[in-house]
Structure 1
Amino acid sequence: MRTLPPFRADHVGSLLRPPALLQAREDFKEGRIGAEALREIEDQAIKDAVRMQEEVGLKSATDGEFRRSAWHMDFIYAIGGIGQAPGNIKVQFRNEKGLIEWTPAALHIGERLHLKDTIFGDHFTFLKEQVNTATPKLTIPSPNMVHYRGGPASIDKAVYPDIEEFWTDLAAVYAEEVRRLGELGCTYLQFDDTSLAYLNDPAQRAAIAERGEDADHLHLRYIKQINAAVANKPEGMAITTHMCRGNFRSSWAASGGYDFVAEALFSELAVDGFFLEYDDERSGGFEPLRFVPKDKMVVLGLVTTKRGELESKDMLKRRIEEASKYIDVDQLCLSGQCGFSSTVEGNALTQEEQIAKLRLIIETAEEVWG
């Protein structure tokens, strides 16, 4: 078993919010409780979540993203220079019943990007204080999500008449964030990034082209941005990236294997490991894994977090064996395909089913890798 992240049995990050926390968020929104009371309830929920992760046997523990409303927007809005704008971003998701929409507030870049306080620094510090046996893991959105989610229309041209200055400032903000997190003791950081998976979908590339961008080469820019953010990462910090095709209330937004981005992504992205969604046919086959260098790890997201039914161990083992035709089995790990609750609403499964999924990942990994 591995002693450094990513671990043989790992997980993406977000966890289902307990009912008491959901109620507290609603009470805070309606003015029935204050910020201090909400914080106390969040603290207790995180303590319980860390205890659960360690008790089931995970080597990494997150705070479940319990202090956030969504996996990425809370972070993005906290970057200096980015504010909420009138109107909403509309993202369509699909499930077996049809379409649903997620509509966060729009964003506007109205001044030069800069880092004020360390974003989620207090979140990580509290998490670090709670762990006993697990490595505390912080998840943040990739820098690419700032651009992919808002698009060129969100950037004030009076602030950034030259788009290259935007990219330079964005990279600097993330590089400083990574440096500061290292000073806080963070040794396991994950960049969550749907854009690099979405760009495999021809429909997504068409939408990017419609807004006037080079959809066929945008992934190359995005790889460059992550590399700039991690170029001077602190010694001893493992950085992974997680890619999926959307995860909102058990629904998805994009389809397509990793083929379109694979060669550049796997051979050039300067991270230590890749968390890859692979829970159904929308993710394609394992052939793109042939581009992964020998010194990188791949965490196969074979266990779905979108529903509660448990996969069979035999099926998981067969799929790991199939993947090992294209990449050494010693470079592989196992996880859920995404988080259990990318937004506060969560996916359509119970707390008990969530724990059963985590146990399945751990037991299968032990049987495969010893």
Structure 2
Amino acid sequence: MTVSTAKKAPFRFDQVGSLLRPQALKEARNAFHEGKIDQAALTKVEDEEIKKIVDKQVALGLKAVTDGEFRRSWWHLDFLANLKGIETYAQHESYKFKGAHTRDTNVRFVDKVAYNPDHPFYKAFTYLQRIVPEGVLAKQTIPSPTLYFRDHRDDQAVHFYETRAAFLADLATAYRQTILHFYELGCRYLQLDDTTWAFLIDRISNAKSSEEKASYEQLAQDGVTVINAAVKDLPEDLTITMHICRGNFRSTFLFSGGYGPVASYLAQLNIDGYFLEYDNERAGDFAPLREIFQHGADKKVVLGLITSKFPELESEEKLQKRIEEATAFVPLKNLCLSTQCGFASTEEGNKLTEDQQWAKLKHVVTTAKKVWNDQ
């Protein structure tokens, strides 16, 4: 791991990744699904809309920009489905967000999992890298390998592996090779998006027996094992962060609870920074940061204090106070600021306008500049 400085990602003001899909893109995607336009025509619209939002991010002063995940339908499934050994299917039930119903798409194993050199995300990153101006990083987001542990995705894996350890090893290898290929394409900032830790917070906290609790704690340790194997011995100039998410669909959520139950596991991750959601009481207090950060003098904690779920702008005074409170557990030099999540983890997006979205990101930048003087 490289020495962390104010000029190294994650930055004092940063972002999670996804952005609201503009109307032109929504219309083009609908036309594609209806057979009215071909893939080339859809890609042309995607390219045009991505260029527009990259320019807007740069104009705001963001030092790392994304493609808004504009080519994806889901934040996770589009990636997960395109490793070798995986297929998409309809599970005939919605994901259990609070008060909302999603589409029923899922993925499952049909063979041993492996790196896919033709993964469509590579072409998407190549375009982003080409249009990002000099001095600005192209940030790539992908779902964490732990997403394969959940929602019945690894139920069929037992048919292809004699041991759990062999499965975890193959999964880690597939991810490590994937990350290295992104690096070869010029990526120097990659983020693992992970809802599994919030899932485990909920399950460990509410386990009905010691055996049930132990099974979830083992799943947490499996997460540490596979993530650390995936990021082992990566190039020194590649920053790896993780966004720990409680779910984000049309401004609703999946999980609640403070980070305490998983803090010891998060502390073991050999990554450069954590994007942690702290936009409301569901996230708990800052106390777990002490344990998460205890072995991480060079790590950064990005406080997701500004919600991406609702349009109202948080009080700048209250944001500064919250950052000050966090310094009781993590030095200010190791803290950064972002929105709590992206704005469109699925193509449906959260319940705010594009103008409100950009106002939120501007609020991140202006607040951070008043707190830190080393940007």
> After TM superposition, is the score higher than 0.5?
yes
1:195-274 pair list within 5 angstroms: 195-202=196-203, 206=207, 214-266=215-267, 268-274=268-274
Return the letter of the residue paired with 1:351.
E
Does the C-alpha gap of structure 1 residues 176 and 152 become closer, same or farther in structure 2, counting only changes over 3 Å?
closer
Question: Are residue 294 (structure 1) and residue 297 (structure 2) matched?
Answer: yes
Return the letter of the residue paired with 1:216.
E
Please tell me whether the aligned partners of residues 179 and 233 of structure 1 are also in contact (alpha carbons under 8 angstroms).
yes
Q: Which ranges in structure 1 are unaligned for 5 or more consecutive residues?
A: none
Deviation at 1:205, TM superposition (A): 6.2
Return the letter of the residue paired with 1:136.
A
* Of 28, 31, 36, the match for 1:32: 36
Does the C-alpha gap of structure 1 residues 208 and 14 become closer, same or farther in structure 2, counting only changes over 3 Å?
farther
Does the C-alpha gap of structure 1 residues 302 and 118 become closer, same or farther in structure 2, counting only changes over 3 Å?
farther
Return the letter of the residue paired with 1:11.
Q
Residues 313-366 of structure 1, C-alpha deviations (whole Å, 9 max, x = no match): 101000000000111011000000000000000000001101100111000000
DSSP 3-state at the match of 2:155: helix
Alpha-carbon distance between aligned partners in 1 of 2:23 and 2:209, rounded to the nearest angstrom: 38
Return the letter of the residue paired with 2:241.
T
Deviation at 1:208, TM superposition (A): 12
2:85 maps to what in 1?
A: 81
Please tell me whether the aligned partners of residues 108 and 153 of structure 2 are also in contact (alpha carbons under 8 angstroms).
no
1:107-126 pair list within 5 angstroms: 107-119=107-119, 120-126=121-127
Deviation at 1:86, TM superposition (A): 4.5
Please tell me whether the aligned partners of residues 198 and 245 of structure 1 are also in contact (alpha carbons under 8 angstroms).
yes
Alpha-carbon distance between aligned partners in 1 of 2:236 and 2:144, rounded to the nearest angstrom: 20
2:106 maps to what in 1?
A: 106
* Of 14, 18, 21, the match for 1:10: 14
Alpha-carbon distance between aligned partners in 1 of 2:51 and 2:13, rounded to the nearest angstrom: 21
The runs of at least 4 aligned residues of structure 1 exceeding 6 Å deviation read 207-213
Q: Which ranges in structure 2 are unaligned for 5 or more consecutive residues?
A: none
1:139 maps to what in 2?
A: 141
TM-score, structure 1 normalization: 0.94
Deviation at 1:149, TM superposition (A): 3.5
Deviation at 1:140, TM superposition (A): 0.2
Please tell me whether the aligned partners of residues 88 and 106 of structure 1 are also in contact (alpha carbons under 8 angstroms).
no
Return the letter of the residue paired with 1:300.
L
Please tell me whether the aligned partners of residues 194 and 243 of structure 2 are also in contact (alpha carbons under 8 angstroms).
yes
Please tell me whether the aligned partners of residues 334 and 365 of structure 1 are also in contact (alpha carbons under 8 angstroms).
yes
Alpha-carbon distance between aligned partners in 1 of 2:218 and 2:237, rounded to the nearest angstrom: 32
Please tell me whether the aligned partners of residues 54 and 61 of structure 1 are also in contact (alpha carbons under 8 angstroms).
yes
1:150 maps to what in 2?
A: 152
Count of residues in Structure 1 that have an aligned counterpart in Structure 2 = 364
* Of 357, 360, 363, the match for 1:357: 360
Question: Are residue 45 (structure 1) and residue 45 (structure 2) matched?
Answer: no
Please tell me whether the aligned partners of residues 90 and 103 of structure 1 are also in contact (alpha carbons under 8 angstroms).
yes
287-296 or 348-357, larger mean C-alpha shift: 287-296
Does the C-alpha gap of structure 1 residues 359 and 194 become closer, same or farther in structure 2, counting only changes over 3 Å?
same
Please tell me whether the aligned partners of residues 89 and 106 of structure 1 are also in contact (alpha carbons under 8 angstroms).
no
2:165 maps to what in 1?
A: 164
Deviation at 1:85, TM superposition (A): 3.0
TM-score, structure 2 normalization: 0.93
Alpha-carbon distance between aligned partners in 2 of 1:2 and 1:159, rounded to the nearest angstrom: 45
Please tell me whether the aligned partners of residues 116 and 178 of structure 2 are also in contact (alpha carbons under 8 angstroms).
no
Alpha-carbon distance between aligned partners in 1 of 2:82 and 2:205, rounded to the nearest angstrom: 27
Paired-residue identity, %: 44
278-287 or 126-135, larger mean C-alpha shift: 126-135
Deviation at 1:158, TM superposition (A): 2.8
Return the letter of the residue paired with 1:182.
Y
1:307 maps to what in 2?
A: 310
Does the C-alpha gap of structure 1 residues 219 and 212 become closer, same or farther in structure 2, counting only changes over 3 Å?
closer
Residues 201-220 of structure 1, C-alpha deviations (whole Å, 9 max, x = no match): 14886599999981133111
Does the C-alpha gap of structure 1 residues 259 and 211 become closer, same or farther in structure 2, counting only changes over 3 Å?
closer
Deviation at 1:169, TM superposition (A): 0.8
